[in-house]
Amino acid sequence: MKKTALMFFLLSVCGLWAADKGLSDTVYTKDNKEIKGIIVEEYKDRVLISTVDGEQSLMKSDVKELYYDTEEQNLIKLAEKARDKGDFIRSFVYYDKAFKVNPDSRAAKDGIVFLQGYLFKKDMAKKEEDINRRNDFEKRSAGAVVMKTEEEKFAENINKLREVAGITLDLSTAEVRIESVTIGSPAYDAGMKRGDILIAVWGRFVKYLSLKDVVEMMLEKTSLETKCTIERGISAEAKDLGATFKMMFDGMTISEIKNPSPAREAGLMVNDIIVSINGKPTRYMPLKKGLESIKNSKGGVVKFTIRRDLVIWGKAGG
């Protein structure tokens, strides 16, 4: 078991911290503070680090350096930095190195698939861009070009997302919630449902992004597939649930489901990550306590909040 995975296990299962300071991620702030812990979530503008004093949210504008505990994590970080700068070849090299360090790395696998799709479609996208640029030039020459406002571009992308992926978004909520899914669309075939909350696209958390940025990520022309992480509420009969749980690095996870069973009928799936049980977060909940919460659910019905990876194939991205 890797050092960081071991530390997370101690933290989430036993509620303990390793005394060895080497077994942790480190954040160096611009005001010369050193914060050790586990970086549990990383967003575009901030990181969430779990420490002995609890979770802390740190803005990246206040962070000087981030150092991860494992070689794999550091390589993934370098890959993401290169990807953000548009240096996709260098990014691919780092993802490939991370994969060789840990062939089970989900982040490395996702990064490689994402970039393979990008490199495969790069020439096609360039040709299309050249055609569009030529058409725009001809329209300008004819005096037929009307500049679109940001609002008009956003509305156009919202419509495009419905056309290519089959989903519409609820624009009235702070979270990115799916308002509708067209039957037979790529999103429908992927298993997306109305009411799902979009958590990440290709492993990038969207919580603090603008809706405009999220839609652009969904439409980004990089691959024949778009990997999304959604969050969903599922209720099931607690008695004889028929599901087996394990505490994995990402949290409490379903490892097996009987067929037939209340779990299967409710729509739970193997590899679903349990975010909460009856409204109580599971991030630092010992597995035994989680199982007791399921067993003691009021009214015999257990309410889960799960996270699940979905892959939208085909037309996503245009």
How confident is the model at residue 20, as a pLDDT? Answer: 39
Q: Residue 223: which pLDDT band, with cuts at 50, 70 and 90?
A: low
Beta-ladder partners of 276 = 281, 305
Under 8 Å between Cβ of 310 and 287? no
How confident is the model at residue 19, as a pLDDT? Answer: 35
Spatial distance between the Cα atoms of 283 and 273, rounded to a whole number of angstroms: 10
Fold classified for 148-318 = Pdz3 Domain (2.30.42)
Reported as type and span, the H/E element at residue 302 is strand 301-313
Does domain 3-101 correspond to CATH entry 2.40.30.40?
no
Residues of each domain in the chain carrying CATH 2.30.30.100: 3-101
Nearest residue to 82 (alpha-carbon basis) of 139, 74, 301: 74
Under 8 Å between Cβ of 32 and 65? no
Spatial distance between the Cα atoms of 28 and 40, rounded to a whole number of angstroms: 16
Under 8 Å between Cβ of 18 and 2? no
Look at strands 273-277 and 280-281 and give their pairing. Answer: antiparallel
- pLDDT, tens digit, 9 for 90 and up, residues 242-258: 999 999 878 999 999 99
Report the largest interatomic distance among the alpha carbons of the chain, rounded to a whole angstrom. 72
Tell me: pLDDT of 119 over 80.
Answer: no
| Distances 27 to 46, 74, 163, 175, 244 between C-alpha atoms, Å | 12, 13, 42, 28, 36
Residues of each domain in the chain carrying CATH 2.30.42.10: 148-318
Mean pLDDT of the 208-222 span: 84
- Rounded to two decimals, the pTM is 0.76
Mean pLDDT of the 83-110 span: 87
Nearest residue to 162 (alpha-carbon basis) of 181, 148, 149: 181
Under 8 Å between Cβ of 13 and 252? no
Tell me: pLDDT of 31 over 50.
Answer: yes
Spatial distance between the Cα atoms of 254 and 273, rounded to a whole number of angstroms: 7
Higher pLDDT pick, 113 / 307: 307
| Distances 141 to 131, 144, 209, 312 between C-alpha atoms, Å | 15, 8, 37, 39
Tell me: pLDDT of 318 over 60.
Answer: no
Tell me: pLDDT of 145 over 60.
Answer: no
| Residue 274 φ then ψ, to 5° | -85, 110
* Helix, strand, coil percent content, the chain, rounded in steps of 5: 40, 30, 30
| Residue 293 φ then ψ, to 5° | -65, -40
Reported as type and span, the H/E element at residue 198 is strand 197-201
Mean pLDDT of the 123-140 span: 63
